[in-house]
Amino acid sequence: MGDAPSAIGLSYLYEHGLGGDENPELAFKWRRKASSLPYGEFAMAYFQPLARYYENGYGTEADLVQAYKYYDLSGSVGGAGRLRVSKKMTNEQIVEARQQSKHWQEENRRFNPGYYGLEHQSDGSYR
């Protein structure tokens, strides 16, 4: 199954061509996979490169909704990217990206502190 830090490491190697040629498609594949792996510490700031890949079409088609979503999941670290991308988006696209971000957080039970006013509950959830 693997863990997030290992997948991120592979992505980095492929992005920078360390040990071989640069391979944007494999860099994207492993960075994307890391976002859903259940093992290992996964800091939400790790989403920055994935957001950048989507923003610039690196290893995948450019997708501003996905770029915004992953900048949003990066918390305050992603603020500059979120602002930059939002200038190229419609209001509807921004709403969609925010909904996807919130859904990811709920589904994965990983939240940015205070995100959407959610508070940690005694059962481990956020409401």
d(CA 45, CA 119): 20
What torsion do the CA atoms of 75, 81, 85, 87 make, to the nearest 10 degrees?
100
- With a pLDDT cut of 90, the percent of the chain lying above it is 51
Inform me whether the pLDDT recorded for 18 exceeds 60. Answer: yes
Residues 85, 62 contacting (CB under 8 angstroms): no
pTM summary value: 0.80
